[in-house]
Structure 1
Amino acid sequence: MLEAQGARIAAVIIEPVPANHGLLPQRQAFLARLRALTRTHGALLIFDEVISGFRLARGGAAERLGITPDLATFGKVIGGGLPVGAFAGPRAVMARLAPDGDAYQAGTLSGNPVAMASGIATLEVLAREDGWRRLESLGTHVEAVLRPVLARASFPVHLVRVGSLFWLSLHGPGAPRTAAPLDQTALERYGRLFHALLAQGIYFPPSAYEACFLSLAHRDTDIETLGRGLEQALESAA
């Protein structure tokens, strides 16, 4: 499309780590090619990092993948639990915003002082407590605990992890890279899995397409509790 319509395309926006229809890691080569094509055709590359930003690394998925977009959008993590969003880019792009430039941007809650204070405090904690290394360590522990449990399941279920994000995919032969739908059997099975976990005091996402999020509040013992609970829940869901 860029090669055919490049002069008419202002921007390409993409989640570098899609996490709204399952967790769908993209190939680094694909994103690097997209970066090269947008540069060639004069289109902005925008990373939607509302979920991945400040969660996968200090510089988000862009840092983890080694690909620099022209703009990036952020949210969730930087609010420290309060509603907040932000976008950022190089000076040449951001200078187009009013009052310096011709693009107007404003909002009722823009720069809300309580949300900004919460966000600053959150980022300070992440930096001070070596947060990103700890989150990666927790993610590694999730893999070590859950993969053997899932391997013993009587139906297809796959663990997908990127940093502190993980997802249980009930797709057949393997976890998808695109937004592939689950069949009715898998959806019903996930419903049974959800309720079996809930009965043990483990609250998983209610949708089979939702990813899970680790935080600095989690400990290795929490993950081990999840592993034991998941083993029992998988039997109930079969």
Structure 2
Amino acid sequence: MLYKRSSALFHEAQNYIPGGVNSPVRAFKSVGGTPVFMKKALGAYLYDEDGRSYVDYINSWGPMILGHTHPVVLEAVSQQLEKGFSFGTPTELETEIAKFIIERVPNVDKIRMVNSGTEACMSAIRLARGYTNRDKIIKFEGCYHGHSDSFLIKAGSGAATFGNPNSPGVTQGTAKDTLLARFNDLASIQELFHANQGEIAAVILEPIPGNMGCILPDEGFMQELRKICTENETLLIFDEVMTGFRLDFGGAQKALNIDADLVTYGKIIGGGFPVGAFGGRKEIMDYLAPMGPVYQAGTLSGNPIAMRAGLTTLTILDQDRDLYNRINTTTKILHEEISTILSNKGIAHSINRFGSMVSVFFGDKTIRNFDDAQQADHATFNQFFHHMLTEGIYLAPSGYETWFISDSIQNIEIEKTLEAVEKFKK
């Protein structure tokens, strides 16, 4: 049995942890089978409790852009640990990383650190509502912004994986203030603005969605969305928890040449440690307590270990801008070669890619939005996932997720991946 110890650990975990996992998609409920328990990670590889290794294409769902346990980051964190784990006071390090980000990304004058992407998006929405004195927000079907109540309405990612996008526990009062638009469908957005004139505080979206698989915006879609928000005095919020410092050093704002009013961050800016952040124009951010009336707080916000890991990671990226060319090239090679192999096998598929994010969908349909993603052939994806896992390739255990490529993926890992795809039989 390949996963003997993982199976035993999962059985035990279910006695103490709901579903045996601390984040639902880890349970393998979508793809079936027993989740693999990991013991360690290094470079491009994960190592499980049964002694098997895997080329890693989730990279902790995005933050490990340098690969796992990068030696420079590891050394910086080790030195920071000796100075203390958490202070509950301001530190110079918080200012250093805030200044670093603000000086290098477009349209962010001030930024506040929090503890997760969920917290960042939740806080950004509260700030937008307080700043505009409006209650309603628009989100897009299939875009996932964490598990805050306002967002669990036809969300992507784990919510879609389990076929339960409207989570029990979310009140009707909360749900009525969240309006749903379809990604890449400007008419659906215009209809919502027309029906709710003067009531919409913000539009929030993943500029390159990664929680219904990687989805690309149609040409002109983002520009028109920016225009609609400006005309209606509605804040545009980019959820860059995934895309921030991954698609480009300036994130999706720079890659798409669109200025958002507020931007949320996470993942890469913590170097693999729990972190989140939200930032934007000065007049909006100054509406936060203690300067303004919108309250937001967090005991571990700006944790020195996360700040050191994040600042070190960002510094490496800043000093090696060619890294983006390398990982984008790696992703392009994987995209093209996998597509060629599947086509030669007569397996219907489509692949979406932007930068170092890529998704393989099975079926004849081009995937442009959440409805399309739901109509993909998820049964074939599940077969593909387990085949690749057996071959030592770790993919996200859901057809609604994105692969994240790291700089540690080299030719040997690409070859191993393509050899595994060659062996796949539908």
The match for 1:172 is 364
Which of 320, 323, 344 matches 1:152?
Answer: 344
Which residue of 1 is the match for residue 278 of structure 2? 87
2:244 to 53, 59, 64: 53
How far apart, CA to CA, are the structure 1 residues paired with 2:373 and 2:324?
A: 32
Task: Answer with 104-113 or 63-72: which moved more.
Answer: 104-113
Deviation at 1:154, TM superposition (A): 2.5
Aligned length in residues: 234
Contact 2:242 2:265 in 1 (8 A): yes
- Quote the Cα distance in structure 2 between the aligned partners of 1:179 and 1:54: 28
Pairs within 5 Å for 1:1-238: 1-130=192-321, 131-182=323-374, 186-233=377-424, 235=425, 238=426
Q: CA deviation at 1:133?
A: 2.3
Higher-Rg structure is 2
Kindly tell me: are residues 182 and 153 of structure 1, through their superposed partners in 2, closer, same or farther at Cα, counting changes over 3 Å? farther
Q: Could you say what secondary structure the match of 2:203 adopts?
A: strand
Cα deviation, residue 226, structure 1: 1.0
Supply the RMSD in Å over aligned alpha carbons: 1.7
- The alpha carbon displacement at 1:182 in A equals 4.1
Q: Distance in 2 between matches of 1:153 and 1:73?
A: 41
C-alpha deviation, 1:171, in angstroms: 3.3
The one-letter code sitting in structure 2 at the alignment partner of 1:84 is V
**Does the aligned pair in 2 maintain the 1:56–1:132 contact within 8 Å?**
yes
Q: Does structure 1 retain, via aligned residues, the 8 Å contact 2:365–2:372?
A: no
The 2-side partners of 1:52 and 1:38 are apart by 21
User: Separation in 2 of the partners of 1:155 and 1:143?
Assistant: 15
Instruction: Write the deviation string for residues 62-84 of structure 1: whole angstroms up to 9, x where unpaired.
Output: 11111010001011111111110
Query: Structure 1 residues 180, 192: CA separation in 2 closer, same or farther (over 3 Å shift)?
Result: same
Superimposed CA distance per residue, residues 175-227 of structure 1 (whole angstroms, 9 cap, x where no aligned partner): 3333435459x222222211111111111111111110001111133122211
TM-score, length of structure 2 as denominator length: 0.53
State the distance in 2 between where 1:6 and 1:112 align.
41
Relative to the length of structure 1, the TM-score reads 0.92
Q: Aligned AA for 1:207?
A: S
The separation in 2 between residues aligned to 1:126 and 1:158, in whole angstroms, is 31
Q: Matched residues in 1 for 2:277 and 2:374: separation?
A: 33
Report the residue type matching 2:347 in the other structure. F
Deviation, structure 1 residue 145: 2.3
1:140 partner SS: helix
Kept in 1: contact 2:208–2:216 (CA 8 A): yes
Give the AA of the match of 1:69. A
Show structure 1 runs of 5+ residues with no match: none
Asked if the contact 1:165/1:211 (under 8 Å) is kept, the reply is: yes
3-state secondary structure, aligned to 1:69: coil
Distance apart, 1:139 and its partner CA: 1.9
Letter in 2 for 1:124: T
Question: How far apart are the structure 2 equivalents of 1:27 and 1:195?
Answer: 32
CA-CA distance at 1:122 after TM superposition: 0.8
Q: Does the 8 A contact of 2:335 with 2:358 survive in 1?
A: no
AA at the equivalent of 2:337: V
Counterpart Cα distance in 2 of 1:84 and 1:179: 31
Instruction: Say if 1:78 and 1:123, in contact at 8 Å, map to a contact too.
Output: yes
After TM superposition, the structure 1 stretch with the greater mean CA deviation from structure 2, 133-142 or 191-200, is 133-142
CA distance in 2, matches of 1:89, 1:134: 30
SS in 2 for 1:191: helix
Which stretches in structure 2 are left out of the alignment for 5+ residues?
Answer: 1-191
Mapped partners of 1:126, 1:179: distance in 2: 36
User: Any conservation in 2 of the 1:70–1:89 contact (CA below 8 Å)?
Assistant: yes
Distance in 2 of aligned mates of 1:187 and 1:147? 17
For residue 180 of structure 1, give the secondary structure of its aligned residue in structure 2. helix
Amino acid at match of 2:351: L
| 216 and 181 in structure 1: CA distance in 2 versus 1, 3 angstrom threshold | closer
Deviations 1:82-127 (A, max 9, x none): 1100011011211111222221211122111111111101101111
- The one-letter code matched in structure 1 to 2:248 is A
